[in-house]
Amino acid sequence: MSGLIKSSIARKVVMALSGLFLVIFLVLHVTINLASVFSPDFFNEASHFMGYNPIVQFLMQPILVAGVIVHFVMGFVLEIQNKNARGMAYVKYKGSENASWVSRNMIYSGLVILAFLFLHFYDFWIHEMAYKYVEVKPEDPTRYYAETVEKFEPFWRTILYVIAFVLLSLHLWHGFASSLQSMGVNNKYTEGFKKFAKIFAVVVPLAFVFIAIYHHLNPITH
């Protein structure tokens, strides 16, 4: 087992598992967010549950943050090792002849998503922490819909979110589809899984784009 921790294969498995965990989280996230378009009441209810349920707050949320940190720290470690492994760079290197742009640039799509996470945490998580623990305001299960829609009023924020979702789509396109390969799974279901992963990589970010643009175009009028 000690050799496993240090091995390149184990590092890849960690990337795949943490990535798959984040994919599951995305499903939950997009489902609740879609409710903000189709049923503001359900969105308020679900958001309040996520914001105040102790299991979500003190168990699931720290696990999620840990998952994000493990994924991007390991991503950086692997990128540095991989750059070092080449040694001297080629004068001419035709990467596009044998591999897709997305697969060769996961670090860049990942960095954009990471930068987006800072904005996203600033927009929602820090605001939420301030509401609950700094300003110590009372529970208000009806505030979430208005707060969310308000966030998408500025054009610049909506555009930044949309750009991040496009990069998320590219990242998932390669990452999700190749996760099982990293974990050693390759059988008669693999091609089907890859197709599903690529549909997922388009549909889920597209749903997020739809939500952001929908709220931008339908502000709450006071």
Partner 1 sequence: MKLYLKIWRQKDAQSKGKMVDYTLDGVEGDMSFLEMLDILNEELVSKGEEPVEFDHDCREGICGTCSLQINGEPHGPDRLITTCQLHMRKFNDGDTIVIEPFRAKAFPVIKDLIVDRSSFDRIQQAGGFISVNTSGNTIDANAIPISKHAADEAMDAAACIGCGACVAACKNASAMLFTSAKVSQFALLPQGRVEAADRVQNMVRQMDLEGFGNCTNTGACEVECPKGISLTNIARMNREYLSASIKG
User: 3-state secondary structure string, 114-170?
Assistant: HHHHHHHHHHHHHHHHHHHHHCCCCCCCCCHHHHHHHHCCCHHHHHHHHHHHHHHHH
Query: What residues between 184 and 213 interact with partner 1 by CB under 8 A?
Result: 184-186
Question: Contact with partner 1 (CB under 8 A): which of 18, 33, 169, 178?
Answer: 178
Total residues binding partner 1 (CB under 8 A): 42
Would you count residue 106 as binding partner 1 (CB under 8 A)? yes
Task: Please list every residue from 144 through 163 that binds partner 1, using CB under 8 A.
Answer: none
Phi, psi (degrees; rounded to nearest 5) at 141: -70, 0
CA torsion 109-161-47-25 (nearest 10°) is -10
> Does 36 help bind partner 1 (rule: CB under 8 A)?
no
Q: Is 88 in the site for partner 1 (CB under 8 A)?
A: yes
Q: Does 34 bind partner 1 (CB under 8 A)?
A: no
Nearer to partner 1, 2 or 221 (CB): 2
Contacting residues for 32 by C-beta, under 8 A, at least 6 apart:
43, 46, 47, 50
| Cβ nearer to partner 1, comparing 14 with 22 | 14
103 near partner 1, judged by CB under 8 A: yes
The CA-to-CA distance between both ends of the chain, in Å, stands at: 61
Q: For residue 167, what are the CA distances in angstroms to 68, 103, 138, 170?
A: 16, 12, 37, 5
Asked if 91 touches partner 1 (CB under 8 A), the answer is: yes
Is residue 38 within the footprint of partner 1 (CB under 8 A)?
Answer: no
Which residues here bind partner 1, judged by CB under 8 A? 1, 3-4, 6-13, 78, 81-82, 84-95, 97-100, 103-104, 106, 174, 178, 180-186
